Amino acid sequence: MSSNILPRVLKTLFCNVFVRSLTWQCYRLRPSVRPSSAEQREPPWSAASCPSRATSSGVTWATRAPRSRCRFWDLRWTPSTRCSFPITRDSVRVRPPSGYSHWKGQVLTADELHVLYEGIKLNNVHQYDYVLTGYTRDTSFLEMVVDIVQELKRANPNLVYVCDPVLGDHGSMYVPQNLYPVYKNKVVPVADIITPNQFEAELLTGKNISTQKDAVEVMDLLHAMGPDTVVITSSDLPPRLGDRFLVSLGSQRHVRPDGSRTTQRVRIEVPKVDAVFVGTGDLFAAMLLAWTHHYPNDLKTACEKTFSVMHHVIQRTISYAHELAGPGRRPSPPQLELRMVQSKADIEDPAIVTEATVIS
């Protein structure tokens, strides 16, 4: 099996740019397609085999396909349709993203998800290794995701489910409140990796974060709920590097050969940017999936790679946006759309600009 999970994640992300004109021609269920000659060529940095255990908001499925490729079914919130890889699906279909003055779309229902999944099973392309979920506004959809993940894990106990538990930020929820108990009691317990912000981590555990010690305790509580890897993507903790930085923390449990457990915890400070972007959460989750695949037992390196990718993409985006806006003008949402294609090299092999610190 192929381990080129990163270019496959990249292809899914880049298709978000290339198919904007096809927004209302959303891809339906379709069988696996033969990769092109370009897709069959492995990148020079790719390893030799696709892991049986690797990780990845909606839903992304990545299959343990025959040696040539891994497949994704993407159901995350997105400003446009994503390409079939071979199967992708958005849980919320909108055009354009919510940063614009006007936007419209529909929410994918649990029944529609069930029909799609049944079709996948009929085509016998449901041997998945990765599932990624994020933004959704429907409880029945989330519950259907849980049922599907549990079924997939029965078929493949090594499947890894990555959940971005999108609930809210800055002290308030921006999804219906009835999603909270579903996330807490059903979704998080079956997840292997979760990426909450501070508000979401506090909400899920019922414990406030005021100090680094509090954050460690919250991550331990989240571990106890099920996930082996927890990354708090942003927090209000005071940065040691100054007010222009933001503190993130991560924790990863490992099982030793003798059955005992060890935990690696990291802290990372990233530069703040005075702008609002759409899609950074999706990019972060995808990059964490890719880099925890390449470094499954080294959360420090995986986080450094992930946050460095974010830095490069955001800096390229903000520079381009200011150039378009002109001197003294604040960039508009269209000008702040992430420069994904232009950042391909940085995504594949990012220069490390944010270093993580191992904490106790």
Mean pLDDT of the chain: 79
**Pairing between strand 261-271 and 356-359?**
antiparallel
Question: Exposure string (b/e) for 90-129, b if CB count within 10 Å is 16 or more?
Answer: bbbbbbbbebeeeeebeebebebbeebbebbeeeebbebb
Instruction: Decide: 250 and 358 in contact? Cβ < 8 Å.
Output: no
Of 292 and 83, the one with more pLDDT: 292
pTM of the model: 0.79
What is the predicted pLDDT for the residue at 88?
43
What is the predicted pLDDT for the residue at 126?
85
Give the tens place of pLDDT for each residue, 32-45. Answer: 333 344 433 333 33
Over range 294-322, report the average pLDDT. Answer: 96
282 is catalytic: yes
What is the predicted pLDDT for the residue at 337?
92
Give the tens place of pLDDT for each residue, 183-212. Answer: 999 999 999 999 999 999 999 999 999 999
What is the predicted pLDDT for the residue at 104?
74
pLDDT of 10 > 60? The answer is no
Over range 109-126, report the average pLDDT. Answer: 91
d(CA 299, CA 234): 16
pLDDT of 64 > 90? The answer is no
Q: Which residue in 90, 138, 228, 282 is the catalytic one?
A: 282
